[in-house]
Amino acid sequence: MEVTSKTAEDLEDATLKENLKTLEAVFFVSGRFLSMAELISFTDLNPLILKELIEKLQEKYEKQESSLEIIEKNNLWKMDVRQEYSCIINKLATGSAEFTKSEQETLAIIAYKQPMKQSVITKIRGNKSYDHIKKFVDLGLIKKIPEGHTHILSLSDDFYDYFNISESDNPLKTQEQVD
């Protein structure tokens, strides 16, 4: 295949679009201000390209009259919702969380002590934990394997996907769980 200036431009354009998507995903998932060093680490792009991409993303949101914007503060960048939409976001943010505090505590104990018996979590958290466990199993976040009159609970692969972490990044994993 002969490489022409047209195909080179197409490749450059495709790379730019892919880099923009990558940067946008990083901003979306982080939800916080990121330094240039963090952006470099997450995207594997050099700072000059990143600065250009940030400007292009800002221009894109401005041109589309998007509810999103990229904010820069003291050489830190963050994707945020424009001020005029903050009342909507505040209603949503002060509403109910995806999991109740009690459910979060139950899931945290399972994550920390896995694999563990359901009877143990019930002794720690009370009978309400049965409802929590059912919800987590239904969502595919935990595995529930029968053992005698109880079940063994552990995190599923879907747990790591759901919370966008890798199993190897789990700081709760002890050496004996790895062996």
Provide the 8-state DSSP code for 167: G
Report residue 32's pLDDT band, with 50, 70 and 90 as the boundaries.
confident
> Distance of CA 81 to CAs 68, 78, 151, 173, Å?
5, 10, 44, 36
Q: What is the mean pLDDT of residues 34-53?
A: 95
Beta bridge partners of 150: 147
Structural domains in the chain, CATH included, are 5-90 (1.10.10.10), 101-178 (1.10.10.10)
Dihedral, CA of residue 109, residue 105, residue 119 and residue 138, to nearest 10: -100
Q: What share of the chain is helix, strand, coil (3-state, %, to 5)?
A: 60, 15, 25
pLDDT the model gives residue 30:
86
Report residue 170's pLDDT band, with 50, 70 and 90 as the boundaries.
low
Regarding predicted confidence, which is higher, 173 or 66? Answer: 66
Q: What Rg do the C-alpha atoms of the chain give, in angstroms?
A: 22
Q: What is the pLDDT of residues 71-84, one digit of tens each?
A: 998 899 999 888 88
User: Would you call the peptide bond into 146 cis, given omega within 30 degrees of 0 as the criterion?
Assistant: no
